[in-house]
Amino acid sequence: MNNFTFYNLVKILFGKGTISKTGTEIPQGAKILLTYGGGSIFKNGVYDQVKESVKDFEVLEFGGIEPNPHYETLMKAVEIAKNEKIDFLLSVGGGSVLDGTKFIAAAVYHQGNDPWDILANRAPVEKALPIGAVLTLPATGSEMNGGAVITRVEIQEKLVFGSDLVMPKFSVLDPEVIFSLPDRQVANGIVDAFVHVTEQYLTYPVNSPIQDRFAESIMQTLIEEGPKVLANRTDYDSAANFMWSATMALNGLIGVGVPQDWATHMIGHELTAFHGIDHGRTLCIVLPGIMKVFADQKKEKIIQLGERVFKVQGRTDEQKIENTISAVVYFFESVGVPTRLPEYGVPAETIDRICARFEKRGYKIGEKANIGPKEIRMILEDRL
């Protein structure tokens, strides 16, 4: 096991009826900016529950934060937060609304010319507005970490930043929000959480049995509970298990002291940037390609995944690896997520554009920093 620091300050309020506690977690007298997305919160009753809970506060609202939240949109909220002297940001939505809210929180205090520097040039976050979250969609894990992914539309860039200062002070996780989600969003959440686990697990062994088994526990639970949620949207127990799995998949815990990959995400972000494909779906395209092209480097952990989680068998290591990759693909497809580029209408030329981008950036990705343009081409050509 490698050395590590673990520090997670998020207070989790989990369960039926917890949305009504939102207001009690916010400092008295705070002026709140309530952020939200496309308006589903007005249909599923979440907005009404939140408003009732914060009725003693002055609340301004900022809606319309997109999936893959846009820098351009968020900067409008930054202006409002500054002009209105907002004290507290309350994110009511899924991971995109919360990621966007994290960027707003940091950008409000950004000292330089352009808060885009936080993303493009890793300008340090020295202060941020406090954030609370009411989660409406289990998927990204953003509710229990300090990371965010932001898209700048005009230059088709999707970039990441992270800071302990933008960890939510609290996150309200009421599994009943899942009852009204469409299949596609549930499926995206299942596969997104699953690939968060593989990014911290499918690397190489460092003798870390707790982290490995926790990771396997989450994947196994997603495989069992995900289809139940898809089949019966009002099965509270399955919804709760799915929601808690998604949070545990990316709160830092399973990633302590172990190598991490994240190449699937980095390549997937480009597919979203160029073609607007849902984030979770891009991961299902890329991961099988990475497993195939880097089968040798990831051999031990791919076989461990296969044997422990998917119960695959095989006479040789090669067979076990092949069967594990097939099992992962089957799992993604069984929840309704296609795994090949043509199924999303992505032409082969996009591979050239993505490789050119990594060529220009100059750095390599993956747990051994050995995935560059050449390897990315192999990975994506495997997915044609």
- Check binding of 124 to a second copy (CB under 8 A): no
- Select the residue interacting with a second copy from 111, 207, 234, 334 (CB under 8 A): 207
Which of 44, 180, 217, 260 touches a second copy (CB under 8 A)?
A: 217
The answer to the question of residue 210 lying near a second copy (CB under 8 A) is: yes
Nearer to a second copy, 165 or 380 (CB): 165
CB of 376 to a second copy, least distance (A): 33
Which of 76, 122, 213, 361 is the binder for a second copy (CB under 8 A)? 213
Site stretch for a second copy (CB under 8 A), options 253-261, 267-275, 323-331, 333-341: 253-261
How many residues touch a second copy (CB under 8 A)?
A: 39
Residues 6+ apart with CB under 8 A from 14: 173, 174, 240, 243, 244
- Of the candidate spans 82-90, 243-251, 339-347, 348-356, the one that interacts with a second copy by CB under 8 A turns out to be 243-251
Let me know: does 177 contact 92? Beta carbons within 8 Å.
no
Name the one range near a second copy by CB under 8 A: 60-68, 84-92, 219-227, 308-316: 219-227
Question: Is residue 83 exposed (0-12), middle (13-18) or buried (19+ Cβ within 10 Å)?
Answer: exposed
CA-based radius of gyration for the chain: 20
- At a CB cut-off of 8 Å and minimum separation 6, what does 213 contact? none
* Interface residue with a second copy, options 91, 145, 198, 245 (CB under 8 A): 245
Contact 83, 77 (CB under 8 A): no
Q: How far is the CB of 2 from a second copy (least distance, A)?
A: 7
Considering the complex, what minimum distance in angstroms separates the CB of residue 102 from a second copy?
20
Residues 6+ apart with CB under 8 A from 132: 22, 25, 26, 88, 89, 90, 91, 168, 169, 170, 171, 172
Specify the residue, 250 or 271, whose C-beta has the smaller distance to a second copy. Answer: 250
Tokens of 207: 């003798």
| Cβ–Cβ < 8 Å for 36, 93 | yes
**CB contact at 8 A, 172 and 18:** yes
A 10 A CB-CB count for 111 gives 10
The verdict on 142 binding a second copy (CB under 8 A) reads no
Q: Toward a second copy, which CB reaches closer, 11 or 353?
A: 11
Minimum distance, C-beta of residue 210 to a second copy, in the bound complex (Å):
5
**Residue 151, Cβ density class (10 Å: 0-12 exposed, 13-18 middle, ≥19 buried):** buried
Q: Could you say which of 240, 250, 271, 376 contacts a second copy (CB under 8 A)?
A: 240
CA distance 265 to 282: 8
Neighbours of 236 (CB within 10 A): 14
Near a second copy by CB under 8 A: residue from 176, 225, 278, 367: 225
Q: Find the binder of a second copy among 257, 314, 336, 372 (CB under 8 A).
A: 257
At its nearest, how many Å lie between a second copy and the CB of residue 142?
Answer: 16
SS3 94: coil
Please select the residue that binds a second copy; options are 256, 295, 329, 378, rule is CB under 8 A.
Answer: 256
Positions touching a second copy (CB under 8 A) are 1-9, 11-18, 207-210, 213-214, 216-218, 220-221, 224-225, 237, 240-241, 244-245, 248, 253, 256-257
